[in-house]
Amino acid sequence: MQYIVNPYDEWYALVRAIELKEKNGGTVTTITVGDAGCDPIIRKALAIGADDAVRIDALPTDAMQVAQLIAEHARSGGYDIILCGKETIDHNGAVVPAMVAEMLDCGFISNATQLDVDGGQATLKREAAGGEEIMEVQCPFVLSAAKGMAEQRIPNMRGIMSARTKPLTVESAESTPSTTISQFTLPPEKGACKMIDAERPEELIRLLREEAKAI
């Protein structure tokens, strides 16, 4: 099985971090909790433009454990902004960023679609019911990035070459998860799709009202 960088992390969080570095200076460090199997995808993040990378050598089993390991590293790292994706596309948990914020006692902006930084102050937009909220928060803070924050960047040849020699530090750590998955199951099968004659769409409306009770 071939793993990929979670799209919300790669397309939105990482790219915006790199854009801010290009504009304001500073450095971008990526952090990953996982075993050596993660190294190829970490190199991809470096090829896109991160300066260096940290891998916490532990098997991620639950959100609290991952958050603890990230927060522990971040405490000593002096980071101004911790950018995360809004959720992973496999487990859809979406809770690590807020946990990290709580552990570091700092502000958290979820589902952020825009980020600008001026000195120690950040202005953001975030998804809210019916539109977007404009938010202000002081560094350091944590955000989870949603669509809109940046555009996907494809690494170029120079990026790929330089990624090979950028520093990837491996840190070991101990942690115990508080939840475990006992089994996966598939949802019940969908019944067959009922086909309706294109000449008689009113039949569909009748079925939606009387059979499916959807309208």
Partner 1 sequence: MSVLAIISTKNGAATKAGLEAASYAAAWARAQGSEAIAIAAGPLSNAEALGATGVARILHHAEEVTDSGQWAKLATAASESVGAISVVASHDPFGRAVAPRVAVRLTAGLVAGVTELPENGTVRKNVFSGKAMADVDVSTSKSVYTITPNAFGITSDGSGATTEVFSAELGVAKEVVKGFEAASADGQVPLPEAELVVSAGRGLKGPENWGIVEELAQSLGATTACSRPVSDIGWRPHHEHVGQTGITIRPNLYIAAGISGAIQHLAGVNQSKVIVVVNTDPEAPFFKAADYGIVGDAFEVLPKLTAAIKALDS
By C-beta, is 128 or 161 nearer to partner 1?
128
**To the nearest whole angstrom, how small is the minimum distance from the Cβ of residue 159 to partner 1?**
22
**12 and 150 in contact (C-beta within 8 Å)?**
yes
Residues in Cβ contact with 79 at an 8 Å cutoff, skipping those fewer than 6 apart? 29, 140
By C-beta, is 148 or 160 nearer to partner 1?
148
By C-beta, is 30 or 110 nearer to partner 1?
110
Distances (CA, A) of 32 to 42, 67, 93: 8, 11, 16
**To the nearest whole angstrom, how small is the minimum distance from the Cβ of residue 167 to partner 1?**
30
32-36, long-range: CB < 8 A, 24+ apart: 32/56, 33/58, 33/60, 33/65, 33/66, 33/69, 33/70, 34/58, 34/59, 34/60, 35/59
**To the nearest whole angstrom, how small is the minimum distance from the Cβ of residue 37 to partner 1?**
20
Token reading at 4: 């990929």
**To the nearest whole angstrom, how small is the minimum distance from the Cβ of residue 97 to partner 1?**
8
**124 and 115 in contact (C-beta within 8 Å)?**
yes
Token reading at 74: 């971040």
**To the nearest whole angstrom, how small is the minimum distance from the Cβ of residue 105 to partner 1?**
8
- CA–CA dist 138, 123 (Å, integer): 9
By C-beta, is 59 or 207 nearer to partner 1?
207
Q: What are phi and psi of 180, to 5 degrees?
A: -140, 145
**To the nearest whole angstrom, how small is the minimum distance from the Cβ of residue 51 to partner 1?**
26
By C-beta, is 37 or 201 nearer to partner 1?
201
By C-beta, is 50 or 87 nearer to partner 1?
87
